[in-house]
Structure 1
Amino acid sequence: MYKKIILLILCLIFVISCSSPSNPDNGNQGNNGDGGSTPPPITTPTEEELIAKYGIDIGQADAEISKQIEANLKAYYTEMGSYRVIFTGTTANYGDHESLYALTLKAALKVSSSMNIELDIKNINFQDGSVKTGMFSGEVVDNSQNIVISFAFPTDKIKTIEMMSFDNLYNTKEIVIPDSVITISDMAFQNSQSIEILNLGNSVQTIGEYAFMYIEGLKEVIIPASVTSIGMGAFSGGGLEKITISAPIKTMGMGVFLSSLKLTTVTYYGTSPTDINNNDAFLYCDKLTTLIVPNATNPNDNAWKTFLGGNFTDVRKE
């Protein structure tokens, strides 16, 4: 009799323990992703989902764009752990609008005085394949020295960078121009003093007058083989120390590298010192002494010493 009672009690204890909430397998729960106690895997949003969620239409009024930039910077950081501004929509005449760069910088200061921002312009509809004048012009903004803005360019939408479209940038260190760009117009990046790295892409043919004038942070530039024409004063007054010039260039305007006071070395891939008709490109480049001409037919030609108006005392093939 007692054995039956004990057995009955043990059975009840077993039933109760199986139905206890502390049992990890209770209620068909488990580790199989079917509603169990193990949380479902975290899914990373797709690029399309991020654009749909955080894209800002540039066709809106400046005040609305600014408001959305501030809100999206906070929300994107909360979700993704970085700062990013995604612009969408169609370009406009920016003569009556504040630049998207300035709007971003000022809105960012309301979030933090120190951050790295990816300014994503890949999803903008650039009408006629051109970046409009003033669209990304910068300006001096107090207390913004610790904010760095990096551009994410589209790979195949832009053919022309219009005049003064990226001028006066003080918060951008690197510019990588996409290979789709053919023309960089006059004063396009002038006085963008914070730029330290410049990649001109592989398809640029024309560089306009004063396009990169007064870029004091830029130490070196490689002018690609696609370039055939460089306008007056295009790289004048900057901080260049080294320049590489490809062979196909035939036209070079007055004072292209005028007053590049830190310039010491030029590498030129042409064969003759008369391939380019210019005698003042290096005017007032007082520290310029070295010319490297790997493809020169005659590196001992005395004309190399005054190539493009320079005063070279060290001319050699390598």
Structure 2
Amino acid sequence: MSLKNLKLLINDEPTDLPEWINFAFVLGDYLYSQGFKNNSCSNIVVTLPTEDYFALFVAVGITDKIFSKENQLNSIKEQILNLKLGSRIIYLDNNFKRKEVSVIGFEQNPVHSDELILLVQESNYRNGIPEKDWYNRIILLDEQFENIKRTRLIGANKEIGINSPLLNELYSSEQLSKVAFYPGEAFHIVGNENQLTTLINDQIFLINNRKGTIGDFLFINNLHNNSSYVNGKFLSSFTRNTPNNLTEGVPVLYSNISSYLKQKEHFKKNPGLIILSRTDHEHRIEEINLEIGNNLIQKGHSYITNQIIDYLHQKGQKIPNNIELLAWREKL
């Protein structure tokens, strides 16, 4: 199914998604697939009547691209085969109870000769995991794989994988299992922690009688995440410390003008979304506009506003009324 199949709950009554939300979804699509390209970063400024929710809906558009894409089983198999003797993994048994086990090796399946078995050991207990179960029964813990970006151990109180009735209505269980195998920060979001947490937990979606929240889509490090799976990272707009482990090349979503002004220096190698609200103080909007204008003139960045408009049209989307957009691309 498409995100457009979602209904928006207003006073607990379902209605079609307004165009500005679909617009945000497509911007997320663009930033994920085109934001970092040919060693250059796209930057988009959007002026809105109010900034509430917009960055989060763009993040949902990013995660939809992740949930929808096909991760190849061959790639998953390759990651498993790269495990070394003694590597620690989490294995989900037949009751989906989590067990941390050590890798012993591999052997041919005596029943199906064309299938491998991963041999693991827990204390004095030895077990074999058939190849067909690898992508939905194994969680990798070792930070040693190019395609696996897991930056922390999984605590005992963490849920394993992706467990969301709402997502189950939009994506197949096979898709979600494959995605859970590849955690990684696909975006950064900068803003006010309390405000974003409140918005993420609002029950605003409905599909096939299933209610859900923005948090069903977003598994954000440092913000509203009790899962082993990660697809984003939060940075407070108020932090004064230099953040660690930021991922270059992934989109950074500034949820308001203050977030951009305070944290922009940390994301010079990331595509960005800058949100301006018409409720912001006039001098702050002028400050942003002056800075952007000077950068475009002095650094020779190229305008890509028309390219994004074309991309929107390809996706059957236009810029809604009362929304303004400006975009450019910076060479690194």
Whose relative contact order is higher, 1 or 2, with alpha carbons under 8 Å and at least 6 apart?
2
Larger radius of gyration: 1
- TM bucket by the smaller chain? under 0.3
Higher-strand-fraction structure: 2
Higher-helix-fraction structure: 2
